[in-house]
Amino acid sequence: MVASGVLRSPPPGSKMPRLVAALAVVLLPLLSAAVGSAAAALPRGGGLGFEATLRHVDAGAGYTEEQLLSRAIRRSRDRVEALQSLATLAPGDAITAARILVRASDGEYLMDMGIGTPPRYYSAILDTGSDLIWTQCAPCLLCVDQPTPYFDPATSATYRALSCSSPMCDALYYPLCFQNVCVYQYFYGDSASTAGVLANETFTFGTNATRVTVPSVSFGCGNLNAGSLANGSGMVGFGRGSLSLVSQLGSPRFSYCLTSFLSPVPSRLYFGAYATLNSTNTSTTDPVRMQSTPFVVNPALPTMYFLNMTGISVGGYRLPIDPAVFAINDTDGTGGTIIDSGTTITYLAEPAYQAVREAFVSQIKLPLLNVTDTSVLDTCFKWPPPPRQSVILPVVVLHFDGADMELPLQNYMLVDPSTSGLCLAMATSSDGSIIGNFQHQNFHVLYDLENSLLSFVPAPCNLI
């Protein structure tokens, strides 16, 4: 049993910022009235399934098309910078890793879930790039705006704080301990982004027809929070770590079919037994072959979904890109290619992006627009074309180990409302590549962790 108010020693090589001490002074006394009784996580065998609706974080907010696009690109830029910083950390730098993961959790889609008994319903940001499930809790010393009241553990019959010896507590990047209660903390620069009690609670998921109630889901009950939740009330991690929803529910497969973020039609999430591509309606008379590619494990970032990307074709020509450009650096874990639902546009490692840009400039017979140095989209063409001039746009294919993803035109070209230019929905990256959700909208995408495969098939996501 850990003595009251004693913090665990930091991992070797890490430095404890003054914020940890401040957190202990401010947060821990509050916990004595909020922790409840400690309990260990209950094991769950087998799996379960449900369907859920995903809403874009900016849906229904009254933004113009230009605002929707600029907001999504800004979030993508911030997220990519955060994800790329993760692999450059010194071993054992858990505090910095936690800070970066929270920054990386700026996502694009919201999922409804019920917390507690009786359930209170919240919308959480779905994030395939992190693990922790958390929401803001009362009493709240520092909280950010959210559309619902804070979750109050005192009103739930099934809330139980986790002990410091819990395996879930050990799975945190940097746990604290107070009166044998596990306290989690994720940092956001020099201020706390979310900190509170790691607890078990009953969660409710799914739409009415598939609704399921699951006991003893471990989550963060945050009393100190900063940053932005993008119209949500928390986060739900779908990563590969033990704290993620996928791992905790024992159903190692999920899929989603994302509509355009400019469309008012919501997207769909399928979990467990409901996650299958076998009956996907492709709305075509020709059979469309489901394709699969294996996940690649990056020991430096084990929670992320890495793929073995092998090349890119533009206009039917395989570009002269060394496959090593897309590979993980075995020495330090940098580089590689991630598929990520929380990043909008695709970011390509600089040599790959330059090859794609040159191919577009040579194949599209339109004047290239000058863009500002701060613009994320910098491969843009004058649009619309002159009268009586037809324009042929090249087909783009992303090549993976065992699979080819041929992108529909609307998945890689967009009209930038700020310049009226026709732009490639890709940008350059200083380290590694990230396949964003803009590129896999109107694909039904299946994450099969049991077989370590990503599968996909084109689909009219607004109809399924």
pLDDT tens sequence across 400-440: 999 999 999 999 998 877 678 899 999 898 888 999 889 98
Task: Looking at the structure, tell me whether residues 340 and 428 fall in a common domain.
Answer: yes
Ranking 69-78, 225-234, 447-456 by mean pLDDT, the lowest is 69-78
Q: What is the structure's pLDDT at 5? A: 29
Task: Looking at the structure, tell me whether residues 98 and 156 fall in a common domain.
Answer: yes
Q: In this structure, is residue 277 part of a structural domain? A: no
Task: Looking at the structure, tell me whether residues 296 and 237 fall in a common domain.
Answer: no
Q: In this structure, is residue 11 part of a structural domain? A: no
Confidence class for position 352, pLDDT limits 50, 70, 90: very high
Q: Round to whole Å and give the CA distance between 421 and 371.
A: 10
Q: In this structure, is residue 1 part of a structural domain? A: no
Q: Is 157 left (phi over 0), alpha (psi -120 to 50) or beta?
A: alpha
Among 268, 297, 316, identify where a domain stops: 268
Among 245, 268, 291, identify where a domain stops: 268
Task: Looking at the structure, tell me whether residues 217 and 346 fall in a common domain.
Answer: no
The H or E element containing residue 202 is strand 191-205
The pair of structure tokens assigned to 321 is: 């890109």
Mean pLDDT of 455-463: 93
Q: Is 378 a catalytic residue?
A: no
Q: What is the structure's pLDDT at 86? A: 54
For the chain, what is the mean pLDDT? 80
Task: Looking at the structure, tell me whether residues 101 and 238 fall in a common domain.
Answer: yes
Q: What is the structure's pLDDT at 307? A: 97
Q: Round to whole Å and give the CA distance between 134 and 282.
A: 36
Domain with residue 381: its CATH number is 2.40.70.10
Q: What is the structure's pLDDT at 253? A: 94
Task: Looking at the structure, tell me whether residues 106 and 72 fall in a common domain.
Answer: yes
Task: Looking at the structure, tell me whether residues 89 and 204 fall in a common domain.
Answer: yes
Sign of the four-CA dihedral 394, 457, 126, 147: positive
Beta-carbon-side half-sphere exposure of residue 52 (alpha carbons within 13 Å): 25
Task: Looking at the structure, tell me whether residues 211 and 298 fall in a common domain.
Answer: no
Q: In this structure, is residue 7 part of a structural domain? A: no
Task: Looking at the structure, tell me whether residues 200 and 302 fall in a common domain.
Answer: no
Q: Is 127 a catalytic residue?
A: yes
Mean pLDDT of 142-153: 90
Structural domain range at position 291: 283-458
Mean pLDDT of 337-356: 91
The H or E element containing residue 296 is strand 291-296
pTM confidence score: 0.84
Q: What is the structure's pLDDT at 10? A: 35
Q: What is the structure's pLDDT at 393? A: 92
In our burial notation (b when 16+ CB lie closer than 10 A, e otherwise), range 303-324 reads: bbbbbbbbbbbbbeeebebeee
Task: Looking at the structure, tell me whether residues 72 and 212 fall in a common domain.
Answer: yes
Pick the catalytic residue from 340, 378, 416, 448: 340
Q: What is the structure's pLDDT at 206? A: 94
Q: In this structure, is residue 322 part of a structural domain? A: yes
The DSSP annotation for 389-450 comes to ---PPPPEEEEETTEEEEEPGGGTEEEETTTTEEEESEEEESSSEEE-TTTTBTEEEEEETT
The DSSP 8-state label assigned to residue 328 in this structure reads B
Q: What is the structure's pLDDT at 96? A: 47
The pair of structure tokens assigned to 5 is: 């108010």
SS3 339: strand
Mean pLDDT of 211-231: 88
Structurally, the chain folds into a number of domains equal to 2
Q: What is the structure's pLDDT at 88? A: 54
Task: Looking at the structure, tell me whether residues 338 and 215 fall in a common domain.
Answer: no
Beta bridge partners, 441, equal 258
Q: In this structure, is residue 75 part of a structural domain? A: yes
Task: Looking at the structure, tell me whether residues 335 and 254 fall in a common domain.
Answer: no
Q: Round to whole Å and give the CA distance between 10 and 95.
A: 9
Q: Round to whole Å and give the CA distance between 264 and 336.
A: 34
Q: What is the structure's pLDDT at 384? A: 82
Among 222, 241, 268, identify where a domain stops: 268
